[in-house]
């Protein structure tokens, strides 16, 4: 029998594995959407032990891991954003995609938002990230605005903001 997916809070001992997993996923998924230089820049900007620890200690931000057996196959990071939950990161290793794991993680974030009395989940997704946009649409998310954000070093994020309200 296959291991069941478990979604649990990230622990200190998981930080290095999640940072490594982020690198694997990003370097597989994002070429053709953004440059390798931007991928490396964004990984360095967003995935350090200090950043993860600070977010894990915050009363209004959460990190969860998705595991099959002892193997972390994905992760999510989300935080309170006014009356909504902002989903900042949701990734599943490419070998484990198309099995419903991402949808289960997304539903987990939505449940966390509802439990905190929030009205929606919001997220940003690159306008050229067609697979992710389709997955979010399938889960009931709609584009509510477009943004171009300067993230430094000459790079921008050219995104849709998607939202699911209840």
Specify the pLDDT at position 95. 87
Q: What is the pLDDT of residues 124-139, one digit of tens each?
A: 999 999 999 999 999 9
Q: What is the pLDDT of residues 65-90, one digit of tens each?
A: 999 999 999 999 999 999 999 999 99
Question: Percentage of the chain surpassing pLDDT 70?
Answer: 98
Helices (H), 2-149: 15-29, 36-46, 49-57, 101-115, 130-138
Domains and CATH numbers, the chain: 5-122 (3.40.630.30)
Specify the pLDDT at position 2. 56
pTM of the shown model: 0.94
């Amino acid at each position: 029998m296959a291991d069941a997916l478990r979604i649990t809070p990230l622990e200190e001992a998981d930080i290095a594995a999640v940072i490594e997993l982020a690198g694997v996923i990003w370097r597989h998924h994002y070429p053709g959407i953004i440059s390798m230089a931007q991928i490396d820049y964004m990984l360095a900007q967003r995935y350090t032990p200090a950043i993860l620890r600070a977010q894990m200690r915050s009363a209004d931000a959460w990190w969860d891991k998705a595991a099959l057996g002892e193997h972390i196959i994905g992760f999510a990071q989300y935080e309170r954003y006014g009356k909504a939950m902002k989903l900042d990161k949701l990734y599943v290793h490419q070998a484990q995609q198309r099995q419903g794991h991402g949808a289960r993680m997304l539903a987990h974030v939505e449940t966390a938002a509802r439990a905190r009395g929030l009205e929606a989940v919001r997220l940003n997704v690159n306008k050229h990230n067609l697979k992710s946009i389709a997955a979010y649409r399938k889960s009931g998310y709609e584009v509510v605005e477009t943004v171009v954000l300067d993230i430094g070093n000459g790079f921008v994020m050219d995104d849709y903001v998607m939202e699911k309200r209840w």
